Structure 1
Amino acid sequence: MPRLAKVPTPPPPGCVWIQEASRLTGLSVKTLHNYRHLDKGPKPFPVGRKLAYPVEHIDAWLDEQRNPAPDADAVHSSRPPRAAQVAPRADAGPSAPRAQARCLTAAKRPPRTTKPGTTSVTHPHTY
C-alpha cells in the first residue's frame, strides 16, 4: 500500500502556526516557546501537538512593543546611577603602607639586599 503524501495541516481560521508567528514577530521559535512558559509575548493555544497563534494576538503584541504603556511609578534614565565617591579614611591604619608597597612596579622596587630564594628580617618577600 503506498504512503500518503504529507500535506501540511492548515491552521485554524485567523491563526498561524508557530513558524509563521516567528517570522511575523521577528523572534525565534525557541524564544516563542520560552515566552509561552513565561506568560510573555503573543498567547498561543494548542491544536493537537502544534501551537496556533491568533493573528489578532500577534498584532496586539507588536503594537504593545512599539508603543509601551508609560510606567507612572518608575523614573527611567538612560544612565546607571553614579557610584558614591568615597574619600580615603584618615585612620587608614597599618595596612595602607603595605597596600602601597604591593602597587610598586618593578622599576620602582628597592634593590635586593639578599640573594633570591633567601629571606631576611628586612626583606621578607622575594621579588
Structure 2
Amino acid sequence: MPRLAKTPTPPPPGHVWIDEAARRMSVTVQTLYNYRQQDKGPVGIPSPRRLAYCIDEIDAYLAERRQAAVSAIRAHESRPPEPRLARIADVAA
C-alpha cells in the first residue's frame, strides 16, 4: 500500500512559519533564531516543532526599522554645511 504524502501543517491564523517570516524580512532563518536568543525582532510563538510569527508583528518590526533608517538619514542630512576655506591663491589675488 503506498504512503500518502504528508501535507504541511498550516500555521495558526494570522501567523507564518519561521521560513516564511525570514523570507518576508529578507534575513536567514538562522538570523531569526539569533534574534530570538538576543530578544530582538518580532516575537516567535513556539508551536509543536516549529516557530510561528505573527504577520502584524513582522510588519510592525519592519516599519520600525524603516523609520529608524529614515530618521538616521535625515539626522545626517540636517547637518549644516561646513564653511569653505579660502585657498592661498584666492587670497593673494
With normalisation by structure 2, the TM-score equals 0.70
Name the counterpart of 1:48: 48
Q: What is the alpha-carbon distance in structure 1 between the residues aligned to residue 28 and residue 2 of structure 2?
A: 36
Name the counterpart of 1:15: 15
Q: What is the alpha-carbon distance in structure 2 between the residues aligned to residue 65 and residue 40 of structure 1?
A: 12
Per residue, is there more strand in 1 or in 2? 2
Ranges in structure 1 where 5+ consecutive residues have no aligned partner: 71-75, 78-127
Q: Find the structure with the greater CA-based Rg.
A: 1
Question: For each residue in 1:27-75, what CA deviation from the matched residue of structure 2 results, as whole angstroms up to 9, or x when unmatched?
Answer: 10000011011100111101101000000110010011001297xxxxx
1:55 is matched by which residue type in structure 2? Answer: I
* Secondary structure of residue in 2 paired with 1:32: helix
**How far apart are 1:6 and its partner, in Å?**
1.2
CA RMSD of superposed structures (Å): 2.0
Q: What is the alpha-carbon distance in structure 2 between the residues aligned to residue 64 and residue 39 of structure 1?
A: 16
- The size of the alignment, in residue pairs, is 72
Name the counterpart of 1:26: 26
Q: What is the alpha-carbon distance in structure 1 between the residues aligned to residue 37 and residue 2 of structure 2?
A: 40
2:23 is matched by which residue type in structure 1? Answer: R
**How far apart are 1:4 and its partner, in Å?**
2.7
Q: What is the alpha-carbon distance in structure 1 between the residues aligned to residue 48 and residue 2 of structure 2?
A: 25
1:62 is matched by which residue type in structure 2? Answer: L
**How far apart are 1:2 and its partner, in Å?**
3.5
Mapping for residues 1-127 of structure 1, pairs under 5 Å: 1-68=1-68
**How far apart are 1:3 and its partner, in Å?**
2.2
Name the counterpart of 1:107: none
Q: What is the alpha-carbon distance in structure 1 between the residues aligned to residue 2 and residue 37 of structure 2?
A: 40
With normalisation by structure 1, the TM-score equals 0.52
1:12 is matched by which residue type in structure 2? Answer: P
Per residue, is there more helix in 1 or in 2? 2
Q: What is the alpha-carbon distance in structure 2 between the residues aligned to residue 45 and residue 9 of structure 1?
A: 15
